[in-house]
Amino acid sequence: MITSPAWRGRGYAVLGLARSGQASVRALLAAGAEVVAWDSDAARRGALSPSPLQGRGPGRGEATNASSGISPLPTLSPEGERAFAFADLETIDLAGFDALVVSPGVPINRHPLAAKARAAGVPIIGDIELFAEARAGLPPHKVVGITGTNGKSTTTALIHHILETAGIPSLMGGNIGLPILEQQPLPEGGVYVLELSSYQIDLTRSLDCDVAVLLNITPDHLDRYKDFSAYRASKLRLFKMMRPPHIGVLNWHVPVGEALYRTLFETHPCEFWSNYDDNVEDPYDLWGAFDEHGQTASRDHLSTQQDWPTLQGPHNAQNAISAILACEALGVPEEVISEALKTFTGLPHRMQRVGVVAGVTYVDDSKATNPESVAPALGAFDRIHWILGGRAKTDDLDACAPYFDRIARAYTIGEAGPRFAEILRPHMAVDESGTLDVAVARAHRAAMPGDTVLLSPACASFDQFRDYEARGDAFRDAVEGLT
């Protein structure tokens, strides 16, 4: 567990008790802080094992009305003082708390507690900010932060794999794997590799990454932001928290990439590296120049993309170059990077081949939750039976249109099914399947040897599944049921 002595004796309100929220509570209590926590889900509250609390009296977080619903939990401080209680945070006075710790899944931009905290002068932070505060007490280390609309998890896992191949102690955290505070501190020389969503960056004030990576920015999560400019500004905060001599890695070959690069390069004191080369016309060229000072590196001896079995497609070329630049910034030798690219096993639900049945390949790309992230998958295969739909983030499929000629038939599911069927029907055969199991069965009947059945939904999963992972698992189960 990662903790900080700076938290001792301080008071924290914690909103949201999913994995990161529970980890925050445990880390704060272990450090000697006082915590009042809440989640509307009783099962999540129950996961923290309530029992009578010793000596709880008036103090920080006193209820503002009799229906506060405070449920005490066990004291964990060695002195036997009050340490932890449940309370609906909307019913208590937040004055006196040192921070409100919010889980990234809580829509803080429209949650009434945000205004209440600001009125009380209480900072609103997340578990990544707690990690940033704890860094001073950890063995000397480095942090890599990766953000972007698409490709974060693959790039995070790839950087972690390269570091492990190099023998450098490393762990993944943030928006991937275990909550960062739940993990054990790395030894001296270790590297924390953090996947960071815009929500997590919003809740962070002081995370000074040694290397910060921006993969891309396309419209997404606009239900949480006023407009695309606000979403983009959220991503850029990762770089604004950096201090020299730390390094930013930017993908030049994406919309707004060049403008962002020049803005940051001209206004920020840190050094920025990019996959830019004005002598190369191919937007997926892997071996561009680092920066506008002319610093270059010859990578002719590095393996090429055809040698990377789990990193196919132009989008993975961009993920790979970002990981390569980040690891070179950390001093990893190129020959180690080359070997790691060949041995990377990839991540579930990201263009993952889950089976071949009667000569037809079945690919799980459930993580593709917007059209921009679907387009690379469509570009990677011929004669596709495309399963798409769910809870839409956009009303169009414009980003996918250049690949419509590769699709033999589309199978629409979920809330977006009727709308997507309407869009696609002028361009291809469409089956309004409704549910994933029906879509897989119908695609199985229609596909011919050599075809690919691709689950790449272009939508969130929440209309029919718990999350994209559950959707991908259901796809695999349906495919296994065909044999």
Q: Which residues of 201-213 are buried (b: 16+ CB within 10 A; e: fewer)?
A: bbbbbebebbbbb
178: which DSSP letter?
A: S
- Is 153 marked within a binding site? yes
Give catalytic residues, as residue numbers. 152, 175, 221
| Residues 74 and 49: beta-carbon distance below 8 Å | yes
| C-beta pairs of 136-139 under 8 Å, 24+ apart in sequence | 136/4, 136/6, 137/3, 137/4, 137/5, 137/6, 138/2, 138/185, 138/186, 139/185, 139/186, 139/187, 139/188, 139/189, 139/190
**Cα–Cα dist 24/150, whole Å:** 27
Tell me if 154 is assigned to a ligand binding site: yes
Give the sign of the dihedral formed by CA 399, CA 402, CA 408, CA 409: positive
Q: Say if residue 77 carries a ligand binding annotation.
A: no
How long is the chain?
483
How many helices and strands, by DSSP H and E, does the chain display? 14, 20
For residues 348 and 345, what is the distance between their CA atoms, to the nearest angstrom? 9
**Cβ pair 180, 128 in contact under 8 A:** yes
Q: Please compute Rg for the chain using Cα positions.
A: 24
CA angle 192, 232, 174 (to 5 degrees): 20
User: Which pair of tokens denotes residue 179?
Assistant: 């909550």
For residue 282 the two structure tokens come to 């191919």
150 is in an annotated binding site: yes
Q: Hey, what are 429's tokens? A: 């055969």
Question: Which residues, at least 6 apart from 144, have a Cβ–Cβ distance to it below 8 Å?
Answer: 159, 191, 192, 193, 194, 209, 210, 211, 212, 213, 326, 330
- In degrees, rounded to 5, the angle at the alpha carbon of residue 213 between the alpha carbons of residues 211 and 219 is 155
Annotated binding site: 148-154
